[in-house]
């Protein structure tokens, strides 16, 4: 695997404020903001693009576990404003917006991404999902599916760097060493 450069920009100069993150040569862009700074986020023109979003906070019912809501929208900020008034989203303290720098994400791409992110989060089981539905993965042309899967791979690389691990699969008991398959181990020698 080749190295990647992730550029994180602290919009207001504070690590706890609004930030943007990009991977060089990736068309995606991630914005992260505390819920308390939605007004600052609203000042950015790109938040009105098509994309997906995640509302993240502590699960009030399970200590030490996050709760996540994943959605999509033609104007992702309008969806945030809608959810901000929803009492069932009181757990939400941090926001993730995922858009395209080149504005080439369509409503169909957004729905595909939402469905796949929900699927990945469910499989990882690192957070409680607040979504009440599980939309099916919509049909896209084969080339668009390939592009969206690459988009998701980049997102899975970036989110843990930003402090969000809810899409990362748990280590599996299906690892080679657990099935009796010999795994080359380093040899350590001690010399006087």
Predicted local distance difference test score (pLDDT) of residue 169 = 84
Q: What is the per-residue pLDDT across 11-54, written as a single tens digit (0 to 9) for each?
A: 999 999 999 999 998 999 999 999 999 999 999 999 999 999 99
| Contact indicator for 86, 131 with CB cutoff of 8 Å | no
Summary mean pLDDT of the chain: 90
Enter the DSSP assignment of 24: T
Judged against a pLDDT cut of 80, whether residue 89 lies above it is answered with yes
Judged against a pLDDT cut of 60, whether residue 177 lies above it is answered with no
- Rounded to 5 degrees, φ, ψ at 112 are -60, -50
The model's pTM = 0.86
Strands (E), the chain: 6-10, 19-23, 28-34, 51-58, 66-73, 92-100, 127-129
What are the structure tokens assigned to 56, written together?
Answer: 């993240």
Q: Give the pLDDT band of residue 180 (cuts 50, 70, 90).
A: low
Q: Among positive and negative, which fits the CA dihedral 85, 49, 109, 16?
A: negative
Q: Among positive and negative, which fits the CA dihedral 144, 102, 26, 137?
A: negative
Predicted local distance difference test score (pLDDT) of residue 73 = 94
The 10 Å Cβ neighbour count of residue 106 is 14
């Amino acid at each position: 695997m080749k190295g990647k450069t992730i550029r994180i920009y602290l919009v207001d100069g504070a690590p706890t404020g609004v930030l943007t993150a990009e991977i060089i040569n990736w068309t995606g862009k991630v914005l992260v903001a505390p819920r308390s700074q939605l007004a600052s986020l609203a000042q950015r023109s790109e938040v009105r693009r098509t994309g997906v979003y995640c509302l993240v906070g502590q699960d009030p019912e399970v200590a030490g576990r996050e709760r996540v809501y994943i959605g999509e929208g033609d104007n992702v900020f309008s969806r945030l404003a809608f959810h901000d008034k929803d009492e069932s989203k009181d757990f939400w303290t941090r926001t993730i917006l995922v858009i395209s720098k080149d504005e080439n994400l369509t409503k169909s791409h957004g729905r595909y991404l939402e469905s796949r992110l929900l699927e990945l989060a469910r499989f990882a089981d690192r957070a409680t999902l607040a979504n009440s539905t599980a939309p099916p993965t919509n049909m896209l042309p084969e080339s668009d599916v390939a592009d969206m899967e690459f988009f998701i791979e980049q997102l899975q690389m970036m989110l843990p760097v930003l402090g969000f691990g809810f899409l990362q699969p748990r280590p599996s008991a299906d690892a080679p060493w657990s099935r009796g398959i010999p795994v080359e181990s380093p040899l350590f020698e001690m010399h006087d």
